[in-house]
Each structure stands twice: as structure tokens, then as C-alpha cells.
């Protein structure tokens, strides 16, 4: 891989993947919001909007791009996760980016999915289940995945899909659970959770970025790779480790928040295919990762 396009270049995942690609000498063309242009340096940067991806065709058509990484996704955290119109548009925009990749001659399209695709599918087909609104985000990812599979097959583009468990680490500013919890620890705010019996996994951002580099470089066409730590367990165990590491004197209250999700079995977090096919293994422990994350948050929030 000599040259790659990365959408969502200023986002949490996209920015980390760009850094990983640069480590391997890959020339990067970054696509992102113009208002955040100065975040990135020493790479070709193009402003773009998901609503009008074809507007950058001329600027990309003269490049010899081999791999198109797509991370741009509106409403990946917070209340917008429940916006059905927005999540449906995200699926459409993902297909639009796939078609653009074909037009500029890319052989491979690598996209970021989510383990919530599987959870949303299970939630939809569980009798009498009443899933929470957060599953609309997972449904959007699932729709994007299925549509891209069909369109990529028709176009002759190699689709490679990465399903992330729960990425965390320096650079994240979203209101997702772990990020919010660490900020509450720093601020000495009350810490309330579900009972925490649902299975979960967390994977550090540098490991996520390395997995995506490997997918672009050697992933098999029309394969999906679960990106996790390979140490999935009940959420409560992660939170107790977080408490021991960052907040031994603060109280963690379990059971105060209702859980409306699906109980996923541990086998749904199995990363053995990813490890076997890509030679990938998560390297940063949860304890080390949350310490680095807290250090970054403290500096960022000054």
C-alpha cells in the first residue's frame, strides 16, 4: 500500500489511522471538515462534506489511490445516535463513498463498522424485545455494511469491514461511557452504572489504528474483522478495574441505571479470526490504556 484516502480525518479513529499509515510510509490524502484543518500536518488535506462526496472527484482522480478508508459518520455518539433519518443517511453516504472509491480507481474500500451491528440484529429478532433508541445507530451501521457488500461486489471493489468493539484513548472527546466516566472521576462527580452484567470489551485506540492498517494492507476481500482486546468480560469487571486503577477512593454505584440492551455471549467478542488472518493482537492493557487516557484528558481539558 503506497497511497490511501482517509475520510473523517479529524475524527477519533480517522486521525489515529492516519498516524499509523504514516508510520508505514503510506502517503495519505485526508478528507475532513475545513474548520478543523489545522489538526493535521504534512499531508494532503481536502475539505469535503458527506452530502456532496462527488465534489472532490476531480481532486482525487489524478491520484494513484489504492485503498479508501471510510471513517466519517455523523452522530456516532450522543443523542444523534437515536436520529433515524441521520443514521439512514449515514448508510447512504457510506455507499456514496464506496462509489467514489471505484470512480477514482481504488482497488479496496475499508470501512469502520461496530459490534453494535450484531447487537442490533439480535435486538430486532428477539421476541417481545423493546430495544433502546441507541440501537438506531447500530442499525445504520448494519444497513451500511449490507449495502456496501452488494454494491462492492457489483462494482468489483474489495470491501473489508472492521467491526470495533469499544475504542477508547487519547483524542476522544465524545460523550461515550468510558470517556465520560473518566471525566467524572477527575471531576469527583457521582458514578452510576447499570448492574454491569452484560459482556463488554474495550480496545485502545493505537491497537485499533494498527488493525485498520493491517486490513488495508492484507485483509481478505469481503471479510469482516472484529477489533477487540480478546479479553472480553462483564462490564462490571472492567469498571472495577477502572476504579482500582484511577479512583480507589471513589464509590461506583451499580444498578442505578437501567439496561435496555441485549446480553451478548462472550463468543460474539471472539477476535481469533482477526488475529489469525491479520497477525493482529491488541498490545495495550486496559489498565495502561485508561491511565494514558486520563493523562490526556487532564491536559486537553486545561
**pLDDT tens sequence across 70-105:** 999 998 888 888 899 999 999 999 999 999 999 999
Q: How far apart are CA 208 and CA 140, in angstroms?
A: 21
Query: With the C-alpha atoms ordered 215, 69, 15, 77, is the resulting torsion angle positive or negative?
Result: negative
Q: How far apart are CA 42 and CA 56, in angstroms?
A: 20
pLDDT digits (tens, 9 = 90+) for 93-137: 999 999 999 999 999 999 999 999 988 888 888 888 788 888 899
- Measured between its terminal Cα atoms, the distance across the chain in Å is 39
- DSSP 3-state assignment of 112? strand
pLDDT tier for residue 153 given thresholds of 50, 70 and 90: very high
pLDDT tier for residue 39 given thresholds of 50, 70 and 90: low
Mean pLDDT of 224-230: 96
Burial of 279 (0-12, 13-18, 19+ CB in 10 A): exposed
H-helix or E-strand spanning residue 109: strand 108-114
Sequence length of the chain is 302
Cell digits of residue 263: 446480553
Say yes or no to pLDDT of 45 above 80.
yes
pLDDT tier for residue 206 given thresholds of 50, 70 and 90: very high
What DSSP designation does 46 have? E
Give the largest Cα separation in the chain, rounded.
58
pLDDT of residue 33: 80
pLDDT tier for residue 257 given thresholds of 50, 70 and 90: confident
What DSSP designation does 187 have? H
Dihedral, 190, 261, 227, 200 alpha carbons, nearest 10 = 50
- pTM exceeds cut of 0.75: yes
User: Does the domain made of 3-169+202-231+265-283 have the CATH classification 3.40.640.10?
Assistant: no
pLDDT mean across residues, the chain: 92
Amino acid at each position: 500500500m503506497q497511497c490511501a484516502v482517509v475520510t473523517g480525518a479529524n475524527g477519533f479513529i480517522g486521525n489515529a489511522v492516519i498516524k499509523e499509515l504514516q508510520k508505514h510510509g503510506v502517503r495519505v490524502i485526508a478528507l475532513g471538515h475545513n474548520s478543523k484543518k489545522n489538526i493535521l500536518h504534512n499531508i494532503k488535506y481536502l475539505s469535503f462534506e458527506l452530502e456532496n462526496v462527488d465534489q472532490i472527484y476531480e481532486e482525487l482522480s489524478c491520484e494513484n489511490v489504492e485503498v479508501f478508508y471510510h471513517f466519517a459518520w455523523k452522530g456516532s455518539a450522543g443523542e444523534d445516535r437515536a436520529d433515524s433519518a441521520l443514521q439512514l443517511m449515514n448508510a447512504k453516504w457510506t455507499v456514496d463513498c464506496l462509489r467514489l472509491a471505484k470512480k477514482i480507481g481504488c482497488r479496496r474500500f475499508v470501512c469502520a463498522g461496530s459490534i453494535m451491528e450484531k447487537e442490533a440484529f439480535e435486538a430486532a429478532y428477539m421476541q417481545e424485545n423493546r430495544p433502546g433508541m441507541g440501537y438506531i445507530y447500530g442499525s445504520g451501521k448494519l444497513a451500511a455494511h449490507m449495502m456496501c457488500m452488494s454494491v462492492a461486489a457489483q462494482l468489483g471493489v474489495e470491501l473489508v469491514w472492521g467491526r470495533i468493539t469499544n475504542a477508547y484513548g487519547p483524542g476522544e472527546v465524545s460523550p461515550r461511557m468510558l470517556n465520560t466516566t473518566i471525566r467524572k472521576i477527575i471531576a469527583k462527580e457521582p458514578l452510576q452504572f447499570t448492574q454491569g452484567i452484560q459482556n463488554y470489551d474495550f480496545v485502545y485506540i493505537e491497537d485499533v489504528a494498527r488493525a485498520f492498517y493491517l486490513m488495508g494492507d492484507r485483509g481478505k476481500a469481503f471479510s469482516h474483522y472484529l477489533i477487540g482486546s480478546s479479553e472480553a468480560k462483564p462490564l462490571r469487571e472492567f469498571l472495577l478495574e477502572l476504579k482500582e486503577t484511577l479512583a480507589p477512593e471513589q464509590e461506583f454505584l451499580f444498578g442505578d441505571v437501567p439496561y435496555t440492551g441485549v446480553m451478548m455471549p462472550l463468543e460474539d467478542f471472539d477476535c481469533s479470526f482477526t488475529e489469525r488472518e491479520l497477525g493482529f493482537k491488541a498490545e495495550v492493557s486496559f489498565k495502561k490504556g485508561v491511565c494514558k487516557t486520563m493523562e490526556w484528558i487532564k491536559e486537553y481539558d486545561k
